[in-house]
Amino acid sequence: MDRSQADHTGPLVERGGLTWEAHPVRELWRLSGPMIVSLLSVSAMTLVDTLFIGWLGSTELAAVGLGGMGVFTVVSFGTALFGAARVRVGEAVGAGEQHVVRAELGAFLRVALVLGLGSTLLTAAGAYLLPLLGKDAATTHLARDYMLVRALSCPCVLLTQALAQWRQARGDSAGPMRATLLANVVHLPLDALFVFALGWGVSGAAWATLASAGTEVALLFALQKRDGFFWEQSSFRGALTSALRGLPTGIERALDMIAFTAVPLLLLEVGAVHVAAHQIVLQLSLLSFLPLIALSDAVCILVSQAVGAQRPRLFVRLTRAGVTLTGAYALALGLLFVSIPSVLIRLFNEEPSVVAIGVRTLALAALLQGINAFYNLAKGILRGLSAIRFVAWVAVICAWVFTPPLTYLWGVRWGYGAPGAWMALCTETFVGTLIMGRRVLRHPLWLAAHAAQPQDGS
């Protein structure tokens, strides 16, 4: 039975086996834990950049925020593409098809090489276009300089994603975690050296990030070298198949990020101070967003393995565990944000205007934590069930219908600035959660597995 049948038919006939079947919640913790640490470590690099640059001034902080979003928007296409394509790896692991698992690694690496070169060129082009799009010349020119250096890191980032996501789909999230942690060890002292000691400012932060990206990909290649890269078991035709499998999610993520990148560009209309406050709140929110993405990815992998092994009963248990974990984590971070908002904002910048705007924005970010927890979880579940196109359509439509227009209306025209932008983000995420949550609860596999649970003791 193929993946499309899993989406449209009744309960699967159980066959095969999974080593974690008796303890799915434990496996979710085992897989997601290192992924959470990895993503938090990636966030820590940007967080350190923001902490250091924030003390140079709100203009420099706004530039790093704007330039960083530009780079992340470009590489997010490849990152999301691998995230969707690894569903096939998870299914092959569940079905015991090791030849497919090996071939997918070679395919992933071929795709990463092509996307890495294209992403570098696109990021460089975007850097030169940026000063034409924003009204604040000082901010956009600094952001351009930051992006031009960061463009060189795109091949490293995408090769890292290819290796890391393939290994995660096989059940190894600890190896990529260690590589990311060591990359952070390199990043922190270089950031301090380049930004302050050498006086390179915004560009110095970009060079430090480039060095850490190169370190991470080198460590992952050294780790994988022991087992091989299975290049000869793959082909460019197989790489094209993998790329097409993840294409809807890649397009979704890129369009979603373009809509999100429009937020700081629009906020430049009301001043760099609002962009700076937005960037601070965004970095604090990543402490919640990224672990929630890791939990979503882990659920996606385990659901895909359960589908491949034809174990539909695990679906409900994984969903309930995901709801509990993501909800609890988002609640904890939300409470922290509303308890000490000014203390958190002042860690980055002490300008009174930035602090005042940041405090108001952080209250809305706390609300967004809770909504986003279930939004990302629903995405992960549906991707694990291969409903990739549905997730892509909903995410893109919600992002473009709500975020840029409402940011312009509430943030620019009505003068709310950064808080208005985060009101728009809350609206987008809430509507998307309602639509995707309904799809999960009405999915044939959910209905069949949930109805079977009282009879089979699961």
Query: What's the mean pLDDT when you consider all of the chain?
Result: 85
pLDDT band for position 355 (50/70/90)? very high
Of the candidates 404, 356, 399, which has an alpha carbon nearest to the alpha carbon of residue 375?
Answer: 399
Query: Would 405 be classed as within a structural domain?
Result: yes
Query: Greatest CA separation found in the chain?
Result: 68
Cα–Cα distance for residue pair 305/173, rounded to 1 Å: 15
Is residue 10 pLDDT above 50, yes or no? no
Domain count, the chain: 1
Query: Would 430 be classed as within a structural domain?
Result: yes
Is residue 134 pLDDT above 70, yes or no? no
Q: Which residue has the tokens 């980055």?
A: 348
Average pLDDT on 95-115 reads 90
pLDDT band for position 400 (50/70/90)? very high
Query: Would 431 be classed as within a structural domain?
Result: yes
pLDDT band for position 124 (50/70/90)? very high
Report pLDDT for 458: 40
Cα–Cα distance for residue pair 106/268, rounded to 1 Å: 43
Query: Would 4 be classed as within a structural domain?
Result: no
Query: Would 8 be classed as within a structural domain?
Result: no
Measured CA angle at 83 (ends 324, 111), to 5 deg: 170
Q: Provide the domain limits for residue 366.
A: 27-450
pLDDT band for position 453 (50/70/90)? low
Query: Would 18 be classed as within a structural domain?
Result: no
> Which pLDDT tens digit goes with each residue over 214-235?
999 999 999 999 888 988 888 8
**Top-confidence range, 101-110, 130-139, 297-306:** 101-110
pLDDT band for position 208 (50/70/90)? very high
Query: Would 22 be classed as within a structural domain?
Result: no
Report pLDDT for 423: 97
Query: Would 31 be classed as within a structural domain?
Result: yes
